[in-house]
Chains A and B, each alone.
Chain A
Amino acid sequence: KAGVTQTPRYLIKTRGQQVTLSCSPISGHRSVSWYQQTPGQGLQFLFEYFSETQRNKGNFPGRFSGRQFSNSRSEMNVSTLELGDSALYLCASSWGTSTDAETQYFGPGTRLLVL
Protein backbone atom coordinates (compact mmCIF):
# COMPACT_ATOMS: atom_id res chain seq x y z
CA LYS A 1 0.00 0.00 0.00
CA ALA A 2 1.42 3.38 -0.94
CA GLY A 3 2.22 5.74 1.90
CA VAL A 4 1.43 9.40 2.29
CA THR A 5 2.90 11.47 -0.52
CA GLN A 6 3.67 15.16 -0.51
CA THR A 7 4.60 17.50 -3.32
CA PRO A 8 6.79 19.34 -3.86
CA ARG A 9 9.55 18.06 -1.63
CA TYR A 10 11.50 21.31 -1.67
CA LEU A 11 10.44 24.85 -2.32
CA ILE A 12 12.13 28.24 -2.26
CA LYS A 13 10.00 31.37 -2.15
CA THR A 14 10.52 35.03 -1.34
CA ARG A 15 8.78 37.10 1.29
CA GLY A 16 5.31 38.22 0.32
CA GLN A 17 4.69 35.38 -2.09
CA GLN A 18 2.17 32.65 -1.52
CA VAL A 19 2.67 28.89 -1.68
CA THR A 20 0.51 25.78 -2.06
CA LEU A 21 1.57 22.38 -0.77
CA SER A 22 -0.13 19.14 -1.68
CA CYS A 23 -0.72 15.91 0.23
CA SER A 24 -2.17 12.59 -0.91
CA PRO A 25 -3.20 10.33 1.98
CA ILE A 26 -2.95 6.58 2.25
CA SER A 27 -5.68 4.96 0.20
CA GLY A 28 -8.89 4.77 2.24
CA HIS A 29 -7.80 7.35 4.80
CA ARG A 30 -10.17 10.27 5.00
CA SER A 31 -8.48 12.43 7.60
CA VAL A 32 -5.53 14.62 6.69
CA SER A 33 -3.63 16.70 9.21
CA TRP A 34 -0.88 19.23 8.68
CA TYR A 35 2.02 20.04 10.99
CA GLN A 36 4.78 22.63 10.88
CA GLN A 37 8.23 21.72 12.15
CA THR A 38 10.81 24.40 12.95
CA PRO A 39 13.99 24.28 15.07
CA GLY A 40 12.59 26.89 17.44
CA GLN A 41 8.98 25.79 17.89
CA GLY A 42 9.25 22.09 17.17
CA LEU A 43 6.30 20.19 15.72
CA GLN A 44 3.06 22.14 15.81
CA PHE A 45 -0.40 21.19 14.63
CA LEU A 46 -1.86 23.37 11.90
CA PHE A 47 -5.23 21.83 11.05
CA GLU A 48 -7.11 18.67 10.21
CA TYR A 49 -9.51 17.98 7.39
CA PHE A 50 -12.07 15.21 7.19
CA SER A 51 -14.66 14.75 4.45
CA GLU A 52 -13.72 18.08 2.89
CA THR A 53 -14.35 19.97 6.16
CA GLN A 54 -11.89 21.46 8.59
CA ARG A 55 -12.46 19.52 11.78
CA ASN A 56 -9.70 20.84 14.00
CA LYS A 57 -7.46 23.89 13.96
CA GLY A 58 -4.24 24.90 15.69
CA ASN A 59 -3.05 28.35 16.70
CA PHE A 60 -1.79 29.74 13.44
CA PRO A 61 -2.69 33.03 11.74
CA GLY A 62 -5.25 33.18 8.97
CA ARG A 63 -2.47 33.27 6.38
CA PHE A 64 -2.39 29.51 6.78
CA SER A 65 -5.33 27.78 5.16
CA GLY A 66 -6.16 24.44 3.70
CA ARG A 67 -8.74 22.43 1.88
CA GLN A 68 -9.59 18.87 1.12
CA PHE A 69 -10.98 17.39 -2.04
CA SER A 70 -13.53 14.63 -2.50
CA ASN A 71 -10.74 12.10 -3.06
CA SER A 72 -9.29 13.08 0.36
CA ARG A 73 -6.26 14.78 -1.15
CA SER A 74 -5.45 17.97 0.68
CA GLU A 75 -3.72 21.22 -0.06
CA MET A 76 -2.28 23.75 2.30
CA ASN A 77 -1.80 27.37 1.35
CA VAL A 78 0.31 30.05 3.00
CA SER A 79 -0.21 33.59 1.80
CA THR A 80 2.07 36.58 2.25
CA LEU A 81 5.04 34.47 3.24
CA GLU A 82 7.29 35.59 6.09
CA LEU A 83 10.84 34.50 6.85
CA GLY A 84 9.53 32.66 9.90
CA ASP A 85 7.41 30.40 7.68
CA SER A 86 10.56 28.56 6.63
CA ALA A 87 9.95 25.06 7.93
CA LEU A 88 9.32 21.43 7.18
CA TYR A 89 5.61 20.97 6.55
CA LEU A 90 4.41 17.47 7.33
CA CYS A 91 1.16 15.92 6.30
CA ALA A 92 -0.34 12.94 8.10
CA SER A 93 -3.31 10.74 7.32
CA SER A 94 -5.57 8.41 9.29
CA TRP A 95 -8.93 6.71 8.81
CA GLY A 96 -10.66 9.55 10.63
CA THR A 97 -13.74 7.59 11.62
CA SER A 98 -12.95 6.52 15.17
CA THR A 99 -13.80 8.44 18.32
CA ASP A 100 -10.46 7.27 19.68
CA ALA A 101 -7.18 8.90 18.74
CA GLU A 102 -6.06 7.06 15.64
CA THR A 103 -2.52 6.47 14.53
CA GLN A 104 -1.41 9.10 12.05
CA TYR A 105 0.95 8.15 9.25
CA PHE A 106 3.23 10.87 8.01
CA GLY A 107 4.53 11.82 4.61
CA PRO A 108 8.13 12.83 3.81
CA GLY A 109 7.33 16.52 4.18
CA THR A 110 7.87 19.64 2.12
CA ARG A 111 10.86 21.78 3.04
CA LEU A 112 9.97 25.42 2.48
CA LEU A 113 12.63 28.11 2.50
CA VAL A 114 11.50 31.73 2.49
CA LEU A 115 14.14 34.27 1.41
Chain B
Amino acid sequence: AQKVTQAQTEISVVEKEDVTLDCVYETRDTTYYLFWYKQPPSGELVFLIRRNSFDEQNEISGRYSWNFQKSTSSFNFTITASQVVDSAVYFCALSETSGSRLTFGEGTQLTVNP
Protein backbone atom coordinates (compact mmCIF):
# COMPACT_ATOMS: atom_id res chain seq x y z
CA ALA B 1 0.00 0.00 0.00
CA GLN B 2 1.10 3.51 -0.71
CA LYS B 3 1.41 6.15 1.96
CA VAL B 4 2.49 9.78 2.09
CA THR B 5 3.35 11.51 5.34
CA GLN B 6 3.63 15.23 5.86
CA ALA B 7 4.57 15.49 9.50
CA GLN B 8 4.34 19.27 9.67
CA THR B 9 0.69 20.16 10.16
CA GLU B 10 1.25 23.91 10.35
CA ILE B 11 4.21 26.19 9.75
CA SER B 12 4.27 29.90 10.38
CA VAL B 13 7.07 32.13 9.10
CA VAL B 14 7.75 35.79 8.60
CA GLU B 15 7.98 37.14 5.08
CA LYS B 16 11.38 36.66 3.38
CA GLU B 17 12.24 33.63 5.50
CA ASP B 18 13.09 30.36 3.76
CA VAL B 19 10.82 27.44 4.60
CA THR B 20 11.03 23.71 3.87
CA LEU B 21 8.01 21.44 3.74
CA ASP B 22 8.76 17.79 4.37
CA CYS B 23 7.27 14.81 2.55
CA VAL B 24 8.05 11.15 3.21
CA TYR B 25 6.49 8.40 1.15
CA GLU B 26 6.11 4.62 1.17
CA THR B 27 5.58 2.43 -1.87
CA ARG B 28 6.51 -1.04 -3.06
CA ASP B 29 6.60 0.08 -6.68
CA THR B 30 9.95 0.63 -8.33
CA THR B 31 8.45 3.17 -10.70
CA TYR B 32 6.30 5.87 -9.21
CA TYR B 33 5.57 9.56 -9.47
CA LEU B 34 5.60 12.29 -6.89
CA PHE B 35 3.69 15.56 -6.99
CA TRP B 36 3.29 18.76 -5.05
CA TYR B 37 0.08 20.77 -5.13
CA LYS B 38 -0.83 24.09 -3.53
CA GLN B 39 -4.33 24.73 -2.19
CA PRO B 40 -5.13 28.39 -1.54
CA PRO B 41 -8.23 29.34 0.48
CA SER B 42 -10.33 29.24 -2.70
CA GLY B 43 -10.01 25.44 -2.61
CA GLU B 44 -8.61 24.62 -6.03
CA LEU B 45 -5.52 22.41 -6.05
CA VAL B 46 -2.78 24.06 -8.10
CA PHE B 47 -0.16 21.79 -9.66
CA LEU B 48 3.44 22.66 -8.80
CA ILE B 49 5.67 19.77 -9.84
CA ARG B 50 5.71 16.16 -11.05
CA ARG B 51 8.76 13.94 -10.63
CA ASN B 52 9.31 10.30 -11.53
CA SER B 53 11.25 7.87 -9.40
CA PHE B 54 14.15 7.63 -11.84
CA ASP B 55 14.89 11.32 -11.86
CA GLU B 56 16.64 12.30 -8.63
CA GLN B 57 17.91 15.62 -9.85
CA ASN B 58 16.88 18.52 -7.70
CA GLU B 59 14.73 21.09 -9.42
CA ILE B 60 14.50 24.82 -9.03
CA SER B 61 11.74 27.01 -10.37
CA GLY B 62 12.05 30.61 -9.30
CA ARG B 63 11.75 30.73 -5.51
CA TYR B 64 10.67 27.08 -5.39
CA SER B 65 13.02 24.12 -5.19
CA TRP B 66 12.54 20.42 -4.63
CA ASN B 67 14.90 17.86 -3.13
CA PHE B 68 14.17 14.25 -4.05
CA GLN B 69 16.11 11.61 -2.11
CA LYS B 70 15.22 8.02 -2.89
CA SER B 71 17.51 6.72 -0.15
CA THR B 72 15.33 8.35 2.50
CA SER B 73 12.05 8.21 0.53
CA SER B 74 11.67 11.94 0.80
CA PHE B 75 10.59 14.68 -1.58
CA ASN B 76 10.97 17.98 0.24
CA PHE B 77 9.87 21.38 -1.01
CA THR B 78 11.63 24.63 -0.18
CA ILE B 79 10.32 28.14 -0.69
CA THR B 80 13.06 30.75 -0.67
CA ALA B 81 12.30 34.30 0.46
CA SER B 82 8.70 33.47 1.28
CA GLN B 83 5.91 35.91 0.48
CA VAL B 84 2.45 36.43 1.94
CA VAL B 85 0.95 35.04 -1.29
CA ASP B 86 2.65 31.72 -0.52
CA SER B 87 0.20 31.19 2.35
CA ALA B 88 -1.76 28.06 1.51
CA VAL B 89 -2.02 24.36 2.26
CA TYR B 90 0.59 22.33 0.42
CA PHE B 91 0.04 18.69 -0.46
CA CYS B 92 2.53 16.05 -1.45
CA ALA B 93 1.10 13.15 -3.47
CA LEU B 94 2.20 9.80 -4.88
CA SER B 95 0.99 7.84 -7.89
CA GLU B 96 1.76 4.46 -9.41
CA THR B 97 3.13 3.95 -12.89
CA SER B 98 -0.24 3.82 -14.53
CA GLY B 99 -3.64 4.85 -13.43
CA SER B 100 -4.54 8.18 -12.08
CA ARG B 101 -5.10 7.46 -8.40
CA LEU B 102 -3.21 10.01 -6.31
CA THR B 103 -2.43 9.22 -2.70
CA PHE B 104 -2.15 12.49 -0.81
CA GLY B 105 -0.39 13.42 2.39
CA GLU B 106 -2.23 15.22 5.15
CA GLY B 107 -1.10 18.61 3.93
CA THR B 108 0.94 21.38 5.55
CA GLN B 109 -0.72 24.71 6.29
CA LEU B 110 1.86 27.41 5.58
CA THR B 111 1.21 30.90 6.90
CA VAL B 112 3.55 33.69 5.84
CA ASN B 113 3.16 36.76 8.00
CA PRO B 114 4.10 40.24 6.79
Contact = CB atoms under 8 A, between A and B. Distances in A.
Contacts of A44: 104
Interface in A67-115: 88, 90, 92, 94, 96, 98-109, 111
| A contact residues, range | 20 to 34
Interface string B7-45: 000000000000000000000000011010100001111
A105 B98 CA distance: 16
B47 A48 contact: no
Contacts of B35: 103
A42 interface: yes
Contacts of A107: 44
Contacts of A108: 42-44
Contact of B91 (A31, A43, A58, A88): A43
Contacts of A92: 45, 100, 102
A103 B96 CA distance: 12
B106 interface: yes
Interface string A5-48: 00000000000000000000000000101010000001111001
Contacts, number: 73
Tell me the interface secondary structure of chain B in the complex: strand
Contact of B47 (A45, A105, A111): A105
Contacts of B105: 42
A56 interface: yes
Contact of A56 (B43, B97, B100, B106): B100
Interface of B: 32-33, 35, 37, 42-47, 50, 52, 91, 93, 95-107
Closest 6 CB pairs of A and B: A101-B95, A106-B45, A101-B33, A43-B104, A108-B44, A109-B43
Interface of A: 31, 33, 35, 42-45, 48, 55-56, 58, 88, 90, 92, 94, 96, 98-109, 111
